Amino acid sequence: MIELLRNIAAFVVLLGILITAHEFGHFYIARRCGVKVLRFSVGFGKALWRRVGKDGTEYVIGMIPLGGYVQMLDERVDEVPEDQLDQAFNRKSVWQRIAVVAAGPIANFIFAGIALYFMYLLGLPAVKPVLQSVLPNSPAAVLNVSQPQQIIAVSGQRVRNWEEVNLALVSHIGDASLSLTLAPVSQLSTPDDADAVQGKTYQLDISRWTFDPDKQSPITTLGLEPYRPDMVPELAVINKDSAAAAAGLQVGDVIQRVAGESFTDWKTFVEQVKASPNQAIALTVLRNGHAVDLTVTPSARESDNGTLEGFIGVAPKLPEWPEDMKVDLQYGPVNAVAMAADKTWQLAVVSVKMIGKLFTGDVSVKSLSGPISIAQGAGSSADIGLVYFLGFLALISVNLGIINLLPLPVLDGGHLLYYFVEVITRKPVSERIQEIGFRFGAALLIVIMSISLFNDFARL
């Protein structure tokens, strides 16, 4: 319950910030173009707070935080007094109307850049994208990883941590190939060292590469094995009502023997548990300095390939990462501007590519996310820390800007489409055509939102 409330609170804060930024873009440019703004509303429904400013605009916070709007003086909506006709939106030139409508999505991009600027200014703790090995018979099998290698570029795009690698890989779904540039870890002590190191570039055939984004990682499905420090055999988590709890395992137990053999490493232990659904495994653990013999019977569940695998519901104590494997992406006031602008551009490019791949079928509609997934992401990122919440805020802001530019008549992009037709034909699109377009756009938007909500509930 507490987690649900935290997610809802983070979602409301996130959405409120993004809606305010978007609508302020419309509001600011409308005022600059001489358009009278009647109402600036964040949220819909009953007003929780309202105030009329000295400029005559009514500022409102609505009860339902799922959108917002800027109501402008317009002869097509209400009767306009003779002395205010020059302030009506519909009386402005087509280029002024284009500027007012485009200002909303543009404000989202600018806001994303500001959020990322402060993220880089504060510093983003991360892990270097270092490879420990690659899986045989995988697209990544062509890589030479005889010693730890750091990924410094994906298809020519610089990457500094695993999050950037993940984002770059996702953009290649459905492509025939991609390239990875690697360099020995010993040559890279800071994130900027990669600019001076040429590295070696490999071409990967990904024509048959597929993965389920809800269950699988693009990194592991490609065959990349990230470096991880050796897990210690001390148990840090015992899930309630799990096989481990039933067997009497406790937090702090140190595994010494498994099925009569000395414990080797955590990965081998996990594989042994997975291979033993509903089969008893003898364990010897060290508890308070004394050896304790236990028997655990792994529960069974269906794996990704449809077979049964065992699990006992435990997690080990996380080891400390070596300092040379960590990186703090922190920049000064000037360099942070360039980094934020570059990151905003990368997010926009990936978003456009993913939307295009939805229409081509390279990306399944199952990957669409709705408000529930966004709320979970907002809550999780806020729980981790401010810099991570800023990064998530920027990601959603860019996506909001891109989606609003889609040429659907109910969105800003649809209005822009009509105005650009007006620029070409030198006459406005007829009210009848606009009405048909709005109905079609609304129906399509409802379908997309329904699919997103269905996906959200399916992930719960």
Diameter over CA atoms, the chain = 93
Query: 289 Cβ partners below 8 Å, 6+ apart?
Result: none
- Beta sheet of 261-262, edge-to-edge order: 261-262, 254-258, 281-287, 290-296
The answer to whether 433 touches 427, Cβ cutoff 8 Å, is: no
Catalytic position from the list 3, 23, 261, 309: 23
Strands 224-226 and 200-205 come out as: unpaired
- DSSP letters spanning 352-363: HHHHHHHHHTSS
Q: Cα separation of 318 and 233, whole Å?
A: 10
- Length reported for the chain: 460
C-alpha distances (whole Å) from 14 to each of 91, 111, 357 are: 35, 12, 27
Per the CB < 8 A criterion, the answer to whether 278 and 310 are in contact is: yes
Tell me how far apart the alpha carbons of residues 328 and 343 are, in angstroms, rounded to a whole number: 16
- Tell me, yes or no, if 23 is annotated catalytic: yes
Both structure tokens of 60: 């409102």
Alpha-carbon distance 169 to 154, whole Å? 7
3-state helix, strand, coil in the chain (%, to 5): 45, 25, 30
Cβ contacts of 337 within 8 Å, gap of 6 or more: 117
Residues with Cβ within 8 Å of residue 399, at least 6 apart in sequence: 347, 351
Nearest to 14 by CA among 456, 395, 339: 395
112 touches 21 (CB < 8 A):
no
Q: Where are the alpha helices (DSSP H) in 361-430?
A: 371-384, 386-404, 412-425
**371 and 14 Cβ atoms separated by less than 8 Å:** no
Degrees to nearest 5, angle at CA 225 with 297 and 206? 115
- Enter the DSSP assignment of 74: -
Q: Are 324 and 158 in contact (CB under 8 A)?
A: no
Q: Which of 69, 105, 76 is nearest to 398 (CA)?
A: 105
* Enzyme catalytic residues: 23
